[in-house]
Amino acid sequence: MAKSKSNQGASGARRKPAPSLYQHISSFKPQFSARVDDVLHFSKTVAWRSEIIPDKSKGTLTTSLLYSQGSDIYEIDATLPLKTFYDDDDDDGGNKESSKTKSATFPNPEYGDAFHDIDGTLLRPKWIYQGETVAKMQYLESSDDSTAIAMSKNGSLAWFRDDIKVPVHIVQEMMGPATSYASMHSLTRPGSLAVADFDVSTNMDTVVKSQSNGYEEDSILKIIDNSDRPGDILRTVHVPGTTVTHSVRFFNNHLFASCSDDNILRFWDTRTADKPLWILSEPQNGRLTSFDSSQVTENLFVTGFSTGVIKLWDARAVQQATTDLTYRQNGEDPIQNEIAKLFHSGGDSVVDILFSQTSATEFVTVGGTGNVYHWDMEYSFSRNDDDNGDDVQVAAPEELQGQCLKFFHTGGTRRSSNQFGKRNTVALHPVINDFVGTVDSDSLVTAYKPFLASDFIGRGYDD
Amino acid sequence: MSKKVWKSSAPSTYEHISSLRPKFTSRVDNVLHQKKALTFSNVVVPDKKTNTLSSSVIYSQGSDIYEIDFTVPLQDTLEPVKDYGDAFESAEKTSLSPKFVYQGETVSNMAYLDKTGETTLLAMSKNGSLAWFKEGIKVPIHIVQEMMGPATSFASIHSLTRPGDLPQKDFSLAISDFGISSDTETVVKSQSNGDEEDSILKIVDNAGKPGDILRTVHVPGTTVTHTVKFFDNHIFASCSDDNVLRFWDTRTSDKPLWILGEPKNGRLTSFDCSQVSNNLFVTGFSTGIIKLWDARVAEAATTDLTYRQNGEDPIQNEIANFYHAGGDSVVDVQFSTTSSSKFLTVGGTGNVYHWNTDYTLSNYEPKVSNTAPQDATEISQTNSLEFLHKGGSRRSPKHVGRRNATAWHPVIEDLVGTVDDDTLVSIYKPYTEESE
């Protein structure tokens, strides 16, 4: 690996355009059994199921994508060439066999046929959340009771189970006419107030969702059971002084953070009283639009801003800084510094962030243009490991950017002029490394795996 | 060591029984004055060659905590033994030195966590403080310290300075308990606040930052909350001196999910829930009554208005009830960690009663709501009381059964350990019909 790194260093001069060759890419425009009037009007989201079924005799690997359009949720099977994907499982081992297979796999300039099996068939909804618009889905891996949770645009939650078309549990939110005049507007013009989010704890026992209460200066978090009685609202927490809390993410079984429109990240424990454990304030760099936490390390998280700035943080360090009075007076704001700072070139705003579920150093960001950026922070970590202490060598922004931006996927939104990147339209596969599914506003579903030149070259030398 | 064969009508022949009166390296003035508690480690080492299992007893005396190794036969013996076994043979000759010390406190309750993990043992002192110990380090690595006595109020000064000499009621405020969630990530402890009508629960982290107090919950209208136990990762119940069991979720706000009031049958003294079934729990009363409950049914009854008006108390019926013969009060209840149908109760006399609920559960239909409880009858009593262990407290006249002095082994089936006031540590395995 040392060799491969020096090699990377040598090719550090490699600049934009970032590499964008695909190891695999397949696209698919679904056709539906029911007539869909204007597909552009519906909001769409995607999420992967985590099951993968290898078939040695056919040389394929099957997995499936959950795709929502308005109130309907479809399941789309993807069949992938086994040799492109399977060797990832022993990626870390770096054994010879796998590196040989890899070196034999050259980037494929053609579009793949992952969706070949279902091309031409008319899709029927697997689940329907009647009267709601699905805004986010999450697959529940190890739950017997339900298969997936879907959130609607107004913050309602529905639990679905395989083979049952309607939700098995519901947490219904009233928004619009039923509540207040202010939110009537938000219903007809679903803009700033109809932003909701949820996340599931690592052991799947607890769900936290965030939503606006429909008023100014009032956003709430609801802690909901997902073990004995899914859908039971355990507690409601008010987030003071915020109108919208747009993101909420768990770090482990209990610790979670919420991110609100006052550019403050608040860290909570599901078991504590109604006050945050500690906060992280981010007044600069524009509007804080998104954040995600790593499920691999429990400590790392990434924040994204409307100006295109991306910051990587260590939650332990952020918390310690809140009580560290070495370089400040009591009463002054704590000095909380990120591990690394990156940016989308051209000021492309950050609309969504997805931390890899297979690697502690990789994450994906989605730009306002619909472009998908793949980052690997290994370079940054290898420079500032814990031993360096205070003597942190901060890499020059350009260099860091060049080393960490691994791949760049140009969104299909180019085909229509006014489409923008949206939250929850890009999904990272929970098991297959680097495998991404996206959906465009015109319903084009794409699944791709980047071809990483640096990996390839590194492996060549390892042989 | 005395060798006696107890005579009794209830079955009380042993598959195995061993006793040890430990010797200590430091001089112990009057062993009777020190409070003792006992638990097992969950480490079990089988030895195929000698056909034995090795494990250890964790034994506390005052502020000192000792680990005593023992060895029991690997296979079940086919006949009841008449003689005491030699499980403590290796420990008999050596003098014990404390493995952990909780300086200045009296350990009243212990829970074994994990030998190799971040923390090995969690101990609670009489005033409700908690200490986490780690293998190889003699002093606590995390502490939740409670101030009681001089720092708080007059009432509790007594409980601090003269614990033994006063009648029971005067140190009734120094009662505390804790429970650990099934995933061991959360600890809940209960304690009196030192004032009348104020007992509190503290939810304490045991995962990311052990010892971090996450939340304090007041239990309204109670002076002492003597027992707290977890059902699963989140749901727990507390049992207070107002004879009410309150069911909580660690994640909800400061109100119980539902309650179970038990105004009759004397003082509610103890309760425990099964970690195997997640639904069964047992309550014990000062009158010797024992009740077996299904938590799902008791909860469903709180919203069931079939046989009552709204506003009336809910009709919550137990599955079955039993009693200690002779009105022997119930001081401790412990569900088996290996079987959902077995639990033991400790009587005020120090006797240990082993119960098997297979008989009553076979007559029980959870779907039918409002089934009348199976009252204690001759048949259910004889079918359920599986074994009776006469407490060693016979040797000294005025000693009574105590909480946390009896424990099930977490892994070895049916193995129970007890400690008497005079430091005699016993482990035994009942000889029952099923053993044959």
pLDDT tens sequence across A42-72: 888 999 998 888 888 888 888 999 999 988 9
Domain enclosing residue A112, as ranges: 23-85+108-176
Q: H or E element: which one contains B431? A: none
A444 domain residue, yes or no: no
pLDDT at A26 over 80: yes
Residue-level pLDDT at B5: 39
- For residue A96, name the pLDDT band (cuts at 50, 70, 90): very low
State the average pLDDT over residues A193-216.
84
- For residue A118, name the pLDDT band (cuts at 50, 70, 90): confident
Number of domains in chain A: 1
Name the residue facing B215 among A205, A223, A272 (closest C-beta).
Answer: A272
**Contact across the interface for B215 and A255, Cβ inside 8 Å:** no
Return the higher-pLDDT residue of B397 and B203.
B203
Residues in chain A closer than 8 A to B207 (CB atoms) = 252-254
Name the residue facing A272 among B214, B235, B249 (closest C-beta).
Answer: B214
Residue-level pLDDT at A157: 92
- B76 and chain A: CB distance < 8 Å anywhere? no
Return the minimum-mean-pLDDT range out of A90-99, A137-146, B185-194, B393-402: A90-99
Name the residue facing A252 among B208, B215, B252 (closest C-beta).
Answer: B208
- B118 and chain A: CB distance < 8 Å anywhere? no
Which residues, listed in sequence order, are joined to residue A291 by a DSSP beta bridge?
A303
Distances (CA, A) of B220 to A224, A422, B159, B193: 25, 49, 23, 12
State which residue of chain A sits closest to B278, comparing Cα positions.
A228
Nearest CA to B58 among B336, B335, B407, B353? Answer: B407
A6 domain residue, yes or no: no
Residue-level pLDDT at A112: 76
Residues in chain B closer than 8 A to A223 (CB atoms) = 251-252
pLDDT at B238 over 70: yes
State which residue of chain B sits closest to A273, comparing Cα positions.
B215
- A225 and chain B: CB distance < 8 Å anywhere? yes
**Contact across the interface for A269 and B207, Cβ inside 8 Å:** no
A280 domain residue, yes or no: no
State the average pLDDT over residues B98-114.
89
State the average pLDDT over residues B386-397.
66
Residue-level pLDDT at B366: 66
Return the minimum-mean-pLDDT range out of A245-259, B66-80, B112-126, B166-180: B166-180
State the average pLDDT over residues A333-341.
83
Residue-level pLDDT at A188: 38
pLDDT digits (tens, 9 = 90+) for B93-105: 788 889 999 988 8
State the average pLDDT over residues B403-409.
89
A441 domain residue, yes or no: no
Residue-level pLDDT at A456: 45
pLDDT at B217 over 50: yes
Return the minimum-mean-pLDDT range out of A451-460, B59-68, B283-292: A451-460
A38 domain residue, yes or no: yes
Residue-level pLDDT at B384: 85
- For residue A427, name the pLDDT band (cuts at 50, 70, 90): very high
Report the range out of A82-91, A110-119, B370-379 with the highest average pLDDT. Answer: A110-119
pLDDT digits (tens, 9 = 90+) for A260-269: 989 999 999 9
Q: Are A312 and A338 in contact (CB under 8 A)?
A: yes
Residues in chain A closer than 8 A to B234 (CB atoms) = 205-206, 225, 227
Report the range out of A372-376, A415-419, B374-378 with the highest average pLDDT. Answer: A372-376
A142 domain residue, yes or no: yes
A131 domain residue, yes or no: yes
Q: Are B46 and B59 in contact (CB under 8 A)?
A: no
**Contact across the interface for B251 and A228, Cβ inside 8 Å:** no
Return the minimum-mean-pLDDT range out of A281-285, A306-310, A391-395: A391-395
Residues in chain B closer than 8 A to A272 (CB atoms) = 203, 214-215
A399 domain residue, yes or no: no
